[in-house]
Amino acid sequence: MRHTDRIAVFIRILPFARWKSALIRRHVGRCPECGGRLATIEEARRAIVHADGAGDSERLRSRVEASIVADAAPAACATGPAAKAAPAWRWAAATAGIFAAAVAVAALVFFLEMTPPATVSRMGGDESAQFRLYYVKIGDEPAQTFVFKPHDSDVIIVWAGKTH
């Protein structure tokens, strides 16, 4: 395999454009053999169509002017306000979206606060409900366990400590 072909394959298999670009700049740009495999600017110009052969600029200009006249008055050339209208509209939409999200979050928080946890409700409302703790182990050894239940709360605190 020729040196230039190896470089071409290497450039093709490199995963990132940045790496490929670095190789092109640092090697292909300096190596005459690799550079010779690329079309020069004169050769590239022979491959493409130039402005003078691409079409009738005069006809294009008349078509564009006809479209512009039909489209809007000359004052509409100043499209600055129209261009700025889009961001304003986007800001309004974004603000409305944020407001709606805030309302939804507030409603969710309110709903959660109004609804007490199911376990607490059961403990308080149903006399037969019991809190049971069979055993607690710390390091595979039975732990000394204390259970607290404050009078004015449904919270139960379990304190477990190592036995000596």
Q: Using CB under 8 A as the criterion, which residues of the chain lie in contact with another protein when the complex forms?
A: 8, 11, 17-18, 20-22, 24-25, 28, 37-39, 41, 43-57, 59-61, 63-65, 67-68, 71-72, 74-84
DSSP notation for 106-152: HHHHHHHHHS--HHHHHHHH-TT--------EETTEEPEEEEE--TT
Q: Are 131 and 147 in contact (CB under 8 A)?
A: yes
As measured in angstroms, the least distance from the Cβ of 110 to another protein is 45
Q: Which is nearer to another protein, 43 or 152 (CB)?
A: 43
Q: Which tokens belong to 4?
A: 């230039």
As measured in angstroms, the least distance from the Cβ of 137 to another protein is 60
Q: Which is nearer to another protein, 56 or 113 (CB)?
A: 56
Tell me the Ramachandran region of residue 28: left when phi exceeds 0, alpha when psi lies from -120 to 50, beta otherwise. Answer: alpha
As measured in angstroms, the least distance from the Cβ of 4 to another protein is 9
As measured in angstroms, the least distance from the Cβ of 19 to another protein is 8
Q: Are 35 and 3 in contact (CB under 8 A)?
A: no
Q: Which is nearer to another protein, 69 or 147 (CB)?
A: 69
Q: Which tokens belong to 14?
A: 């490199």
- Which amino acid belongs to residue 154? D
Q: Which is nearer to another protein, 75 or 118 (CB)?
A: 75
